Amino acid sequence: MGVLDTEFSGPYMLSQSETESCLEKQLEEYGGKVERERKLQLLFRDDNGVSVRFRKISQDGYDEHKEEEISCQYVVGCDGSHSMVRKSANLKFEGSAYASDFLLADVKLKWDYAPDRLTMLMGTGFMMCLPLKDGAYRLVLSVPTENEESSYGESTDEPTLQEFEGAFQRLATGNIQLEDPPTWIARFKLHHRIADDFRNGRVFVAGDAAHIPFTSWGPRNEHRHSRCYQPWMETRYGSSQGEK
């Protein structure tokens, strides 16, 4: 493989909070605004547009029971694999999940590998180590499951420190040590799912709401601009294929 003539010739990792901050700043430059702590309750559409009813959620996660409604020309649902927008648009989400669980964790490591390189450790599973800032790493660890339970404890939505440490000790080879407990741990599964259509009339779905391919962290970016650009073109010049 050739090396790109750029200062960032390899993968460059940002934390989730930094990524969201960059995206929000770019949105604000175009006059957009992110309103947080809102939960979609109902979506209904007609030939003139789309109406969305949502409920405000407090910071502690409780509904405040205050419903609001907005009307717009189009709605794009980027609300993840359990998309309420997709369900409201009567779009199917076909596919399935792979059996194994995976853990994500942000940690600081002591080891002999180069600090600015992506490192993959293989054995009975795998652990991918992606460099972040200030000596921290984003770890991706495979966790084999049996009968819906992790090999290192009960498989819950929120992974435990015990489960992470068990997976880390199994996969860490050589002179590798954790400096401190992880600052963040999450669990995910690999899916292969796709909506039967990305559009129904004035409602679109994008991102994980539209498809969850096996790969992530970059290979899914190639269509993001086209998904945003096409609705704008159709709004300005009309659809070439007609609405469904």
Q: Give me the domains of the chain, ranges plus CATH numbers.
A: 16-92+196-212 (3.50.50.60), 97-191 (3.30.70.2450)
Residue 238, Ramachandran bin (φ over 0: left; ψ between -120 and 50: alpha; else beta): left
Q: Which of 173, 168, 20, 190 is nearest to 107 (CA)?
A: 168
Q: Which of 242, 189, 208 is nearest to 85 (CA)?
A: 208
Give the model's pLDDT for residue 112: 78
Taking residues 171-197, report their average pLDDT. 84
Average pLDDT over all residues of the chain: 77
- Secondary structure (DSSP) of 109-152: EE-SS-TTS-EEEESSSEEEEEE-STTEEEEEEEE-EETTEETT
Is residue 209 over pLDDT 60? yes
pTM over 0.85: no
**Cα distance between residue 82 and residue 79, in whole Å:** 7
Is residue 155 over pLDDT 80? no
Residue the block writes with tokens 């997709």: 86
Taking residues 79-92, report their average pLDDT. 93
**Cα distance between residue 19 and residue 234, in whole Å:** 29
Q: Which residue has the higher pLDDT, 199 or 120?
A: 199
